[in-house]
Amino acid sequence: MPPRFITLEGIDGAGKSSHLDFIRQWLAERGIETVFTREPGGTDLAEKLRALLLAPDTDVSLETETLLLFAARQDHIQRVIRPALAAGRWVVSDRFTDASFAYQGGGRGLAGERIAVLADWVQQGLEPDLTLLFDVPTDVAQERMAATRSLDRFEREARDFHERVREAYLARAAQYPRFCVLDSSRALEAVRADIAARLSGLLMEQR
Ligand code: TYD
């Protein structure tokens, strides 16, 4: 049974984190050994880069920001994702390369071709088997964020930025069949039912 690589994506405040425990429990109940990880982050070095990248007082150009994200991703793939898959474990990553296309590409305007060069370089053919895209209207996401936490460097961006990030995610979802777009403005239970259906599908494919 080949292990699967699943990624979770969505604009800030889309509710991705609320579903992580459900996914964890679902896979555990079926005896699937899974490594849960996140980007930027997932290794000691990448978590240090994450802290720099998210700190509101970090002054960094778009090019440098992108290279730091991909440096973190290289370390994460090399030390965590590939070894886990090689050992037969599933991997669930809270964000992956689609976030760079959505945030640095869509949100900040970096050309997609430049991001693709870095993606090819670090991924070397590694692609998620399934990407769950938690989608909500930008206004709903902004309300949720404002209500729950202090905001990081990306979350502080204007509404237009998040709108462009959302559009970029949806454009990628339309392009790649590995995406499953979940209307995350619904009740948690409804979203969970869709997640369970999609995970079941992934499991069936393997049998
Ligand atoms: P996020 O995953 O939303 O974590 P939390 O739920 O703790 O806020 O935070 C990561 C932030 O990093 C998010 O705002 C998106 C941003 N990001 C990028 O801009 N590009 C990337 O390639 C990645 C992985 C994340």
The tens place of each residue's pLDDT in the chain, 207 residues long, gives 799 999 999 999 998 988 999 999 999 999 999 999 999 999 999 999 999 999 999 999 999 999 999 999 999 999 999 999 999 999 999 999 999 999 999 999 999 999 999 999 999 999 999 999 999 999 999 988 888 778 999 999 989 999 999 999 999 999 999 999 999 999 999 999 999 999 999 998 865
Strands (E) across 124-198 are located at: 130-135, 179-183
Atom of ligand 1 minimally distant from the CA of 53: 12
Residue 117 has which token pair? 């060069």
| pTM (two decimals) | 0.96
- Probe ligand 1: pick from 18, 68, 103, 145, max atoms within 8 Å of CB? 103
The number of CA neighbours under 13 Å toward the Cβ of 15 is: 23
- Probe ligand 1: pick from 43, 152, 155, 169, max atoms within 8 Å of CB? 152
- What contacts 69, CB < 8 A, 6 or more positions away? 39, 40, 49, 53, 100, 104
